[in-house]
Structure 1
Amino acid sequence: MTDWIDISQPLSPQIAHWPGDTPFQYRLTASIEETKSVNIGNIHTSLHIGTHIDAPYHFSATGKTVDQLPIEPYIGRAVVIDVSHTKTINAQVLSAMDWPSNTKRILLHTSLENQPDRFPAKLPYLDPDIAPFLQAKGVHLLGVDMPSVDAPDSKDLATHHALAAHGIYILENVMLDTVPAGEYELIALPLPIQGADGSPVRAVIRPIRKGSMSNDR
């Protein structure tokens, strides 16, 4: 029996997409009845659908694309932190939280309710000042249970740029409503899509039992 927890939003025609962006569609292009052997389907979608990562190229013309990103930030020890008590998440809020000194990946459970079929009109505010704070703590991946680390109507994407400038990779739309705060093993690998600005991921976590993982992951 596995103790892995799927924190991904299921991909279906009902999943919410960014207003004006490409919705998710799966269709069967050839059936077993037609091929006499297999079903074959295809998908048509934005790369920023559901649970996904942002490559720096998403918000910077000179940023790295998905296939240029290292694998290490997206797999290893992570800490889920509950910040659902506030609508503004800044360095001061995070400094009041306690997590192990060797933490490289943070997943924030915010006050936004997980509703994959609804695109939220407003998000909790992530202050760009979290970027230097997290870098100083040794964090190199920030995951959030929101579709973006910036407001839906933001044009300057200040938090995206601040995180990238401080070497912190971005994971968005994880589902943490029923996940207790604590330490987990995380796997949230993007697809190696050449030249891409982002990628959907299957994000899963598993509670860490004492002594079950080395401290350097």
Structure 2
Amino acid sequence: MSEWIDISLPLSAETPVWPGDTPFSYRLTWTKAESGSVNVGQITLSTHTGTHIDAPYHFDDEGKRVLDLDVHLYIGPARVIQWEGEGSIRPKDLAAMDLTGVKRLLIRTGAWSDPCRFPKTIPHIEPELAPFLAEKGVRLLGLDLPSVDPLDSKELPAHHALHRRGIHILESAVLDQVEPGEYELVALPLPLKEADGSPVRAVLKRIG
């Protein structure tokens, strides 16, 4: 029987965050010695810490918040593929793959080589990839990168292009030990009513 593979970045003070964003922290607000019974902790973090999903509200003031999203997007069959291109991820890079009917697509780039440091550059998604993927049936796009856009982008063209085509975003998945193939994915966001994103515990199980 296949075992679940954890593709989530561990959350600690060493977890890299977007430059200027809230660093992760954990501290005990009650200790067992103080309370007489339990340790109780407090966490501080950005909604985009570690492996996370973007809600449309992240880049669109009128977009859906996390609790508005269909949880079925984040549970179900997924395909992991290896990107072999250069510079940016374009339709021609995936043209040779039969992606018809793939609802959840995870792209392993291997470009984020040191998960303890925020990357300086990444191979971003070109906006024209959105209609290409939508035509195949993709509803969720996951990457082993902290963004689908260039790190210095303010316009976020890939975010908006994917959103227009009904494709949701999973970022910072840990895929370096995951072989291309068919999997079952679970990557549920927290039920955050007003939030623009949410950390997830993302796991994969090989199918077949």
Same-fold status (TM-score > 0.5): yes
Do the aligned residues in 1 keep the contact of 2:85 with 2:93 (CA within 8 Å)?
Answer: no
Q: Does 1:43 align with 2:53?
A: no
State the partner residue of 1:213.
Answer: none
State the partner residue of 2:199.
Answer: 200
Question: What is the RMSD of the two structures over their aligned residues, measured on CA atoms?
Answer: 1.2
Do the aligned residues in 1 keep the contact of 2:52 with 2:198 (CA within 8 Å)?
Answer: yes
Do the aligned residues in 2 keep the contact of 1:84 with 1:109 (CA within 8 Å)?
Answer: no
State the partner residue of 1:144.
Answer: 143
One-letter amino acid matched to 1:73: L
SS at match of 1:162: helix
- Distance (whole Å) between structure 2 residues aligned to residue 2 and residue 8 of structure 1: 18
The farther-off stretch of 121-130 and 181-190 is: 121-130
State the partner residue of 1:89.
Answer: 89
Map 1:126-165; keep pairs closer than 5 Å. 126-165=125-164
Question: Closer, same or farther in 2 for the Cα pair 1:92/1:85, shift >3 Å?
Answer: closer
The farther-off stretch of 111-120 and 35-44 is: 111-120
- Distance (whole Å) between structure 2 residues aligned to residue 42 and residue 125 of structure 1: 34
State the partner residue of 1:62.
Answer: 62
State the partner residue of 1:182.
Answer: 181
One-letter amino acid matched to 1:31: T
- Distance (whole Å) between structure 1 residues aligned to residue 113 and residue 151 of structure 2: 16
How far the C-alpha of 1:85 sits from its partner, in A, is: 4.3
- Distance (whole Å) between structure 2 residues aligned to residue 20 and residue 150 of structure 1: 17
How far the C-alpha of 1:98 sits from its partner, in A, is: 3.2
State the partner residue of 2:4.
Answer: 4
State the partner residue of 2:119.
Answer: 120
How far the C-alpha of 1:91 sits from its partner, in A, is: 1.0
How far the C-alpha of 1:114 sits from its partner, in A, is: 4.3
How far the C-alpha of 1:111 sits from its partner, in A, is: 3.6
- Distance (whole Å) between structure 2 residues aligned to residue 115 and residue 204 of structure 1: 20
Do the aligned residues in 2 keep the contact of 1:145 with 1:176 (CA within 8 Å)?
Answer: yes
Q: Which runs of 4+ in 1 moved over 6 A?
A: none
- Distance (whole Å) between structure 2 residues aligned to residue 37 and residue 117 of structure 1: 35
Q: TM-score, normalised by structure 1?
A: 0.93
State the partner residue of 1:167.
Answer: 166
Q: TM-score, normalised by structure 2?
A: 0.97
Q: Does 1:80 align with 2:80?
A: yes
One-letter amino acid matched to 1:155: K
Q: Does 1:20 align with 2:17?
A: no
Q: Between Structure 1 and Structure 2, how many residues are aligned?
A: 208
Q: Which runs of 5+ in 1 are unaligned?
A: 210-217
Q: Which runs of 5+ in 2 are unaligned?
A: none
Residue-by-residue CA offset, 1:180-216 (whole Å, 9 max, x unaligned): 000000000000101100000000000002xxxxxxx
One-letter amino acid matched to 2:154: K
- Distance (whole Å) between structure 2 residues aligned to residue 62 and residue 88 of structure 1: 29
One-letter amino acid matched to 2:98: D
